Amino acid sequence: MKTEFFKIKTAFSFGFLAFTSSTLFAENIIATKVNSSFEGIETSNIIKDLKFTEISVYPQKTIVLNDKSVAEKNSQNISKIIKVSAIYNDSDIAFVIKWQDRTLSIQEGYKTDIYGDGFAVQFPKDYSDPKKLPYIGMGSENREVLVHLQKAVPNIYEPNGNGNVELQISRNNTNYFDEELKQFDQNVSNLARIDYQKSFVSAGFRSLTEIKDDSAKVDMNMVYNHNYGCWKGTLSRKLKDEYINLNSPSFPVAFAIWDGDKNNRGGTKLLSSWQTVTLDGKTGGEVLVSEINNIQTGNLENGKAQFKANCIACHIAGEMKSAMSFMAPDLTNIGGYASSAYIRESIIDPNAVIVPGYNRNAHKNFEWYQIVDGKRISTMPSFSWLDENITNDIVSYVQTLKTQIKEEKK
Ligand code: HEC
């Protein structure tokens, strides 16, 4: 097994001895302060010697997909490690993300049967209470996320500027030289970025609002290294704009990558949990870092038994399932992208965050929530009546639900 997400410093559980305190942390990303500007950062020297933090990303299994070919391609359920680094200056912050993907996929033109590789970086709009972060990936009601998304695009340029991709030409077929060719390349990359780069605010599936003006401006790029079969993505943005304020000692961030080869609408998505970034040289962010990276260490054996008794009627978790267990989110990888605080909240107060993803036209018996007086009410009952030690054991166990990291097969 390669690096696990959590750096385990002590044994998880000693037989029947249950720990209720939690002192283990995931690795924090430390953003180094630099003086240079981030223009052209994807090729700049300032990112040459950066220190990278390893982060695991997991297939978001929450929703069982209907598409058979997609389901087959994703049945392997393989998680990956991505490497992330961050730097900041007085006004901006930049992230560099590297990951392996041996099957280069580029979304060509507007074909609908070819999907591009891609990556996304997201931030909670409000992180003043680190125990109540938005639903990972999409945000949730009253807990919005800001998402920046970039998809891999070909270096072709549609010369008429009228959007007719049939007329796209490659740089080899132009008769431009020198400055004209430079301008051509610039046009190509601008076109590509504008077309396949999106920022949006989201409060759950079906409630994305794309930001089309410059108010959340980012600079994003993807560069593929054919020798190593890996992508390098870069993102730079203002530390502060009208959506988010990252100019604080530490803040949460999450990452997603798409593998276009896997066919899913937009490619298979692998998602991290909320990570923490600390701006080097600033103090006072320790509470946020420890709250978000906190893991519950209870009795795993008892947690599993309690989980079987109380939860499997509705939920799938890996091999564990019952006749009705498709009527709730699939928890197979939940430990990979949910924090202990989120899992605890889900158990004690299911209405706090309603997983915003299920088809509303589903049969009444299989709905994930009902709408009562205009408010969503989860069909999951609250388990707040459980003994606190039992809840701790369940949280501890649910955190272990995640697939192992494997080397990718070609
Ligand atoms: C009666 C069916 C039912 C039972 C029993 C049940 N759940 Fe749920 N659970 C749901 C439904 C439906 C949702 C989705 C709606 C929501 O977010 O509340 C959900 C959501 C969740 C989520 C959030 C999943 C995500 O993708 O973010 C977690 C975590 C969870 N449940 C854990 C548990 C645990 C642990 C137990 C046992 C202590 C349990 N559930 C028992 C129906 C159930």
116 three-state secondary structure: coil
pLDDT at position 13, please?
Answer: 31
Each residue of 43-53: pLDDT tens digit?
Answer: 888 888 899 99
pLDDT at position 262, please?
Answer: 62
pLDDT at position 322, please?
Answer: 83
pLDDT at position 21, please?
Answer: 31
Measure 131 CA to ligand 1 centroid, in angstroms.
18
Q: Is the CB of 341 under 6 A from ligand 1?
A: no
pLDDT at position 108, please?
Answer: 65
Q: Are β-strands 197-202 and 230-238 bridged in parallel, bridged antiparallel, or unpaired?
A: unpaired
Nearest residue to 307 (alpha-carbon basis) of 396, 195, 208: 396
Pick from 58, 136, 273, 311 the residue to mutate for probing ligand 1's pocket: most ligand atoms within 8 Å of its CB: 311
Residue nearest atom 43 in ligand 1 by C-alpha distance: 380
How many whole angstroms separate alpha carbon 5 and alpha carbon 386?
A: 29
Pick from 380, 382, 383, 390 the residue to mutate for probing ligand 1's pocket: most ligand atoms within 8 Å of its CB: 380
pLDDT at position 19, please?
Answer: 31
The mean pLDDT values, 10 residues at a time, for the chain of 410 residues are 32 30 60 91 85 91 67 74 96 96 76 76 96 88 92 64 55 79 72 70 81 88 89 95 96 92 65 96 93 93 97 90 81 93 96 74 72 87 96 97 68
Residue nearest atom 7 in ligand 1 by C-alpha distance: 380
Q: Is the CB of 348 under 6 A from ligand 1?
A: no
Atom of ligand 1 nearest to the CA of 368: 12
pLDDT at position 391, please?
Answer: 97
Atom of ligand 1 nearest to the CA of 135: 27
Measure 312 CA to ligand 1 centroid, in angstroms.
9
How many whole angstroms separate alpha carbon 342 and alpha carbon 292?
A: 10
- Identity of residue 246: L
In the chain, CATH 2.60.40.1190 covers: 29-292
Q: Is the CB of 354 under 6 A from ligand 1?
A: yes
Q: Could you tell me if 234 and 47 are in contact, meaning their C-beta atoms sit under 8 angstroms apart?
A: yes
Whole-model pTM above 0.95? Answer: no
For residue 230, what are its two tokens?
């890996």
What is each CA distance from 405 to 59, 100, 102, 148, in whole angstroms?
11, 13, 16, 26
We find that the CATH architecture of domain 29-292 is Sandwich (2.60)
Rounded to the nearest 5 degrees, what angle is found at the Cα of 219, between the Cα atoms of 235 and 180?
130
Angle 340-348/388-399 helices, nearest 10 degrees?
Answer: 130
- Identity of residue 254: A
Q: Is the CB of 105 under 6 A from ligand 1?
A: no
Q: Is the CB of 369 under 6 A from ligand 1?
A: yes
In the chain, CATH 2.60.40.420 covers: 300-399
pLDDT at position 140, please?
Answer: 85
Each residue of 151-203: pLDDT tens digit?
Answer: 887 655 555 555 555 555 667 777 788 888 888 777 666 655 555 788 999 88
pLDDT at position 325, please?
Answer: 73
We find that the CATH architecture of domain 300-399 is Sandwich (2.60)
Atom of ligand 1 nearest to the CA of 343: 29
Q: Is the CB of 350 under 6 A from ligand 1?
A: yes
Q: Is the CB of 145 under 6 A from ligand 1?
A: no
Phi, psi (degrees; rounded to nearest 5) at 180: -65, -40
pLDDT at position 203, please?
Answer: 87
Measure 84 CA to ligand 1 centroid, in angstroms.
31
Atom of ligand 1 nearest to the CA of 324: 2
Pick from 315, 330, 345 the residue to mutate for probing ligand 1's pocket: most ligand atoms within 8 Å of its CB: 315
